[in-house]
Amino acid sequence: MMRRVLSIVRKDLAQILRNRFLAVISLLVIVVFGVLFHLLPSRVDETFKMGFYLEVDEEAGRALGLDGGREEIASRLEGAGGEKASEGLELSWAESEDELVRMVEEGRVSAGISLRVTGKEPKVALYVASDAPAEISDAGEAIAEEIGYALVGYRLPADFKVTVLGPDFAGRQIPMRDRLRVVLLTFVFLLEIYSLGNLVMEETQKKTAQAVLVTPVTLGEFISAKATTGIVFTFGQGLLLALLLQALPGDIWAPMLVFLLMGAAMMVGLSFIIGAASKDFISMAMVSLIPMVVLVVPGFLAVFPGFESSVVKVIPTYWLVKPFDGMLNYGMGFSPYLSSLAWLALFTAGFFAVGYMVLRRRLA
């Protein structure tokens, strides 16, 4: 039995590699993804550049203790925000309010704050560019409020401490290339649907499968050989891409290999269904279009995490993207994602069962 299965596997691998179009596309995708990853910036600039203009009359300056000038202001801000806050905030001084406005308009600073203390009530104004993201406006508003409190002596009505239950993901700045790495790892698996799907489609269309089944090879052996071919080919490409994307760090390389193998198996099960249900390459491309679009959606949640929804959890690739993102970008271990492994195993078994039934009916 094993000899018959291995002979079919060798034939299938040779047949896949003989299809120059799919072979070149598969290799080209891996190379392009690897180059793209290394071209993207590997760090995130977490410094918030703030323009600042201060106008204080002599009497108010003495009353508020601001007659020490910029050095006094800097020391108060550091005392109010602490060392971490002072490291993350870069102040650029403006000599006039007009200059402050120009600094914001020209993009030299993320936002600008004007503080005028010329009477009983201090006046604080915040300037942001019209195309600035909402996050910049929110951050600038919060900093402006804190600067007002720090400089003129006001205090918040109550002190409070925030306690985060579980891993604290807030404030972690993940470089775009690291977020995109999760998408690329998932997408390369999806592309392999075409390779194995095309193999199954060709063998059923050209009656090669029927001819093989006339021999002592059983349908179970035939499907086992196809599954072995697909898993080896898909896992190999996923592993190569993971190495190029530096996605196998020393502390989590074993869990990553487990999820790469499970992802490859799940895509092979899906390709059985698509290949068996297709009559030619065009019909296979049409049949796989909607599943491809749906399956790629969870990958973009790693890039835009704010869009996550409970509905996405019904998409099989969600349970592949989630551990990839957690382990690679947030330093999570293997144990929190055991449930993801169970869901992947369930989807894989379901795809293989459906693919077996569709293929058996096609070959009948």
pLDDT of the residue at 159: 38
If phi > 0 it is left, if psi is from -120 to 50 it is alpha, else beta; for residue 166 that is left
The reply to whether 65 falls in a domain is yes
pLDDT of the residue at 82: 43
337 or 106, which is more confident? 337
- Closest by CA to 326, choosing from 238, 254, 255, is 255
Mean pLDDT across the stretch 274-298?
84
Looking at the fold, whether 233 and 326 belong to one and the same domain comes out as yes
Q: How is 87-147 classified by DSSP, letter by letter?
A: HHEEEEE-SSHHHHHHHHHTTSSSEEEEEEESSSS-EEEEE--TT--HHHHHHHHHHHHHH
In terms of Cβ atoms closer than 10 Å to its own Cβ (0-12, 13-18, 19+), residue 120 is exposed
Stated as kind and residue range, the H or E segment containing 10 is helix 2-18
The reply to whether 157 falls in a domain is no
* pLDDT classification of 36: cutoffs 50, 70, 90: confident
pLDDT of the residue at 180: 86
Q: Which range, 31-40, 65-74, 296-305, has the best average confidence (pLDDT)? A: 31-40
Looking at the fold, whether 100 and 192 belong to one and the same domain comes out as no
Looking at the fold, whether 118 and 79 belong to one and the same domain comes out as yes
List the domain range (segments joined by +) for residue 134: 48-152
Looking at the fold, whether 69 and 33 belong to one and the same domain comes out as no
State pLDDT tens for residues 181-217: 888 888 888 887 877 787 788 788 877 777 877 788 8
Looking at the fold, whether 130 and 205 belong to one and the same domain comes out as no
* pLDDT classification of 23: cutoffs 50, 70, 90: confident
Mean pLDDT across the stretch 295-323?
83
Looking at the fold, whether 191 and 85 belong to one and the same domain comes out as no
Helix orientation angle between 253-276 and 176-205, rounded to the nearest 10 degrees: 40
Looking at the fold, whether 112 and 181 belong to one and the same domain comes out as no
52 or 71, which is more confident? 52
Kindly state the tokens that stand for 193.
Answer: 């649907």
If phi > 0 it is left, if psi is from -120 to 50 it is alpha, else beta; for residue 309 that is beta
Q: Are 326 and 256 in contact (CB under 8 A)?
A: no
Phi, psi of 158 (to 5 degrees): -155, 145
Q: Are 198 and 284 in contact (CB under 8 A)?
A: yes
311 or 162, which is more confident? 311
> What is the Cα–Cα distance from 229 to 221, expressed in whole angstroms?
12
Looking at the fold, whether 74 and 193 belong to one and the same domain comes out as no
Looking at the fold, whether 194 and 210 belong to one and the same domain comes out as yes
pLDDT of the residue at 115: 75
pLDDT of the residue at 162: 37
104-108, 170-174, 225-229, 322-326: least confident range: 170-174
Residue 58 is part of a domain; what is its CATH number?
A: 3.40.190
pLDDT of the residue at 73: 60
Looking at the fold, whether 213 and 120 belong to one and the same domain comes out as no
* pLDDT classification of 134: cutoffs 50, 70, 90: low
State pLDDT tens for residues 74-125: 565 555 444 444 456 677 878 888 888 888 888 888 788 887 777 666 677 7
60-69, 233-242, 309-318: least confident range: 60-69
Q: Which range, 118-132, 135-149, 259-273, has the best average confidence (pLDDT)? A: 259-273
> What is the Cα–Cα distance from 268 to 265, expressed in whole angstroms?
5
Per-residue pLDDT at 62 exceeds 70:
no
% of the chain beyond a pLDDT of 70 = 73
State pLDDT tens for residues 153-178: 544 333 334 333 345 454 456 788 88
pLDDT of the residue at 257: 94
265 or 144, which is more confident? 265
The reply to whether 276 falls in a domain is yes
Q: Please provide the average confidence, as pLDDT, over all residues in the chain.
A: 77
* pLDDT classification of 67: cutoffs 50, 70, 90: low
State pLDDT tens for residues 237-257: 899 999 999 899 888 899 999
The reply to whether 159 falls in a domain is no
Kindly state the tokens that stand for 213.
Answer: 């089944």
The reply to whether 161 falls in a domain is no
- Closest by CA to 232, choosing from 264, 185, 256, is 264
> What is the Cα–Cα distance from 111 to 100, expressed in whole angstroms?
9
Looking at the fold, whether 227 and 278 belong to one and the same domain comes out as yes
Please list, residue by residue across 137-147, b when 16 or more beta carbons sit within 10 angstroms of its beta carbon and e when fewer do.
eebbeebbebb
The reply to whether 322 falls in a domain is yes
Total count of domains within the chain: 2
Looking at the fold, whether 219 and 73 belong to one and the same domain comes out as no
The reply to whether 301 falls in a domain is yes
Q: Are 230 and 271 in contact (CB under 8 A)?
A: yes
The reply to whether 354 falls in a domain is yes
DSSP secondary structure code for residue 57 in this structure: -
